[in-house]
Structure 1
């Protein structure tokens, strides 16, 4: 069996998705997700110009060798664009392998470690009361773990709270340029402590509560917030500060016992090696699409298991249902699985393009036993929604200084 064709397909059913379809001379095909939000065309060019020509006529079952070829075989290793390209190829090859074997991917990884995958949902609101009302509605649906985000009084826009806008396209208006948002740590501190104080008073101790700082704090500010939130027993505090300098989390860890999670922008084991081996974090949140696919993320998960760090893969709306399926298979297998982020059901247009039988019920996900990843892609439906340039926002302090997004 040989790879005969590789298609790179982009569609925008509300947001952009980049999909790789590997077709073999036996007619078996596999799908992978290569979406880099706001840099979609860069990974498309990387795939079409540099990766695809190298893989035609190769054996699609040589997953490990192809992964090493794409990673070791270039001088410019790592980085979000290159690793997303590798990730999409890798997912598609695992999909093909499963279809050939007649088995779901989790069986190829070693089988199940659990019956279902626990999810955490997002409760956002313009006010604390609205956030808590939305959290209560999610609890009624069966979710036992909920991320809380609320608008910060005194700031025009807050991460995770889009107001009347449905997505970042609407924030950009008629000009597709990055919207700019203001940030104030002082205003944020007051809001977030009150949010979790009221949440515990309302919901009691049993529901798991989470929060995403989105890297807006310095290490010492993150340490202070983590300490302030200790009485409210968070499942974890996500992205408390930037970890380009991994030692930053040593400072945070030394000041608090609030569990810490990070990793959604990580591209390889090297981005989190010290964080994991020093146990400065409790959950690693790398995504298959951004960290080298199933092969790359499995390495990170295995390394984390040695150091009692749990997996909690990123699950943002800009990761396609193909990535969600890859996570479901990894989550079902991983012995050190912690929890899976779930940003909600996809819209009608996306569901028309990406078809699957994976189920979400009572706050948990149930992976399909279909061979491979269990997702199909309707090219005709995808063509109805052409690419639309978009950016994530940028952040500035109130005095205009550029800050972390």
Structure 2
């Protein structure tokens, strides 16, 4: 079997997605997600101009060799654009291999380690009553674990907090990034009371998660983790920019709140200190941004040696192709923790028809051969790309801040 064609499709059914379709001489096709929120066209160009020409004529079954060829064979390694492009190839090849075998992908990864995949949803509100309403809405949808985010008194816009009908997270369709404001001291004063109110209202059994969005220094993150201990969080996510891996030592010394890190990481090298020293409890990278199923499975096996669990990043800007690949991996690995799942718009689900299902707070990839996703080209063409950016965060004095 040989690869005879590879096409890149950019579509925007509510938000922008980049999809790679690989076709073989036996008529099998595979899909891979290459979406990089706010930088979609950079990955599209990387694929079209630099990767696709290298795929033609290759054996699609040689997945590991192709991964190494694209990663090691290019002098410039790592980075989100490169790894998203490699991820698209990797997932598309796994899709083809599983279709050739007539099996769902998870069967090629060792079979199911569980019957279903627990997911968590997002709840947010500008104040506590709105947050309570949002939590109840997620529970009505079936979620049994919920991430809670809230507005902060004195701040106009806080990322991750819904404003009316606007999305809580994601890229805004504006020619320039929207500017949001931030005050760390106000946040640290406010958020413990919010989690206390949520815990009092919804009881001790509901798993609660919270995301600090990289905004804190290590000592600030340590203070927050300690302050939240009475509310028994499932985890505190991205408490500090973890490129400074050593900074997590300080956080770990001062709190027993579980920590989740890694949605902006692209390779295992970003995790080495965090895993080796057991400074975190969950690894958060996405199939789409970590180079695909091949390296993410290796990361999970590495983390398992230190009793660290998976928690694949799964926002709306991971397309159903990337989500499906994640769910297959979740079902197969032993050290699964939880899967983020925001769902997609109806238009997205029409463009990307998928076999995976969400029922009673859990996901299942389905039993279709491959990853179980098909791309409708006609519908995709009806939703052309629109420029969109993630916001920028600034302090009161105008300083750009981590968000």
Deviation of the 1:330 alpha carbon:
0.5
| C-alpha contact 1:169 1:390 (8 A) present in aligned 2 | no
Deviation of the 1:151 alpha carbon:
1.1
Per the alignment, residue 66 of structure 1 pairs with 66
Deviation of the 1:171 alpha carbon:
8.3
Per the alignment, residue 200 of structure 2 pairs with 201
- 2:222 aligns to what SS in structure 1? helix
| C-alpha contact 1:395 1:403 (8 A) present in aligned 2 | yes
| C-alpha contact 2:171 2:389 (8 A) present in aligned 1 | no
Deviation of the 1:136 alpha carbon:
2.2
- 2:8 aligns to what SS in structure 1? strand
Equivalent of residue 373 in structure 2, options 372, 375, 390: 375
Per the alignment, residue 313 of structure 2 pairs with 314
| C-alpha contact 2:217 2:240 (8 A) present in aligned 1 | yes
Measure, in 2, the Cα distance between the counterparts of 1:357 and 1:195.
Answer: 38
Per the alignment, residue 209 of structure 2 pairs with 210
Per the alignment, residue 108 of structure 1 pairs with 108
- 2:350 aligns to what SS in structure 1? helix
Deviation of the 1:172 alpha carbon:
5.1
| C-alpha contact 1:168 1:392 (8 A) present in aligned 2 | no
| CA shift in 2, pair 1:251/1:304, >3 Å | same
Per the alignment, residue 21 of structure 1 pairs with 21
**Where in structure 2 are there 5+ consecutive unaligned residues?**
none
Deviation of the 1:195 alpha carbon:
1.1
Measure, in 1, the Cα distance between the counterparts of 2:346 and 2:244.
Answer: 41
Equivalent of residue 401 in structure 1, options 388, 394, 399: 399
Deviation of the 1:169 alpha carbon:
10
Per the alignment, residue 352 of structure 1 pairs with 350
Per the alignment, residue 334 of structure 1 pairs with 333
**Where in structure 1 are there 5+ consecutive unaligned residues?**
none
TM-score (norm 2): 0.98
Aligned residues: 403
| C-alpha contact 1:165 1:171 (8 A) present in aligned 2 | no
| Cα deviation 1:342-388 (Å, max 9, x = unaligned) | 113x2121111000121101101122110010000001100000001
Q: State how 1:294-309 maps to structure 2 within 5 Å.
A: 294-309=293-308
| Cα deviation 1:278-301 (Å, max 9, x = unaligned) | 100000000000001000111111
| CA shift in 2, pair 1:259/1:169, >3 Å | closer
Q: State how 1:152-167 maps to structure 2 within 5 Å.
A: 152-164=152-164, 166-167=166-167
Per the alignment, residue 6 of structure 2 pairs with 6
| C-alpha contact 2:328 2:371 (8 A) present in aligned 1 | yes
Q: State how 1:75-224 maps to structure 2 within 5 Å.
A: 75-164=75-164, 166-167=166-167, 175-224=174-223
Measure, in 2, the Cα distance between the counterparts of 1:355 and 1:171.
Answer: 23
Measure, in 1, the Cα distance between the counterparts of 2:94 and 2:306.
Answer: 27
Deviating above 6 A after TM superposition, structure 1's stretches of 4 or more consecutive aligned residues are 168-171
- 2:289 aligns to what SS in structure 1? coil
Deviation of the 1:228 alpha carbon:
0.2
RMSD: 1.4
Measure, in 2, the Cα distance between the counterparts of 1:45 and 1:364.
Answer: 36
Per the alignment, residue 263 of structure 2 pairs with 264
Measure, in 2, the Cα distance between the counterparts of 1:190 and 1:141.
Answer: 31
Deviation of the 1:170 alpha carbon:
10
TM-score (norm 1): 0.97
Measure, in 2, the Cα distance between the counterparts of 1:335 and 1:205.
Answer: 27
Equivalent of residue 361 in structure 2, options 354, 360, 363: 363
| CA shift in 2, pair 1:139/1:151, >3 Å | same
Deviation of the 1:302 alpha carbon:
0.7
Deviation of the 1:132 alpha carbon:
1.6
Measure, in 1, the Cα distance between the counterparts of 2:263 and 2:388.
Answer: 19
Q: State how 1:30-45 maps to structure 2 within 5 Å.
A: 30-45=30-45
Deviation of the 1:191 alpha carbon:
2.2
Per the alignment, residue 284 of structure 1 pairs with 283
Measure, in 1, the Cα distance between the counterparts of 2:93 and 2:283.
Answer: 24
Measure, in 2, the Cα distance between the counterparts of 1:375 and 1:323.
Answer: 10
| CA shift in 2, pair 1:172/1:325, >3 Å | closer
| CA shift in 2, pair 1:169/1:315, >3 Å | closer
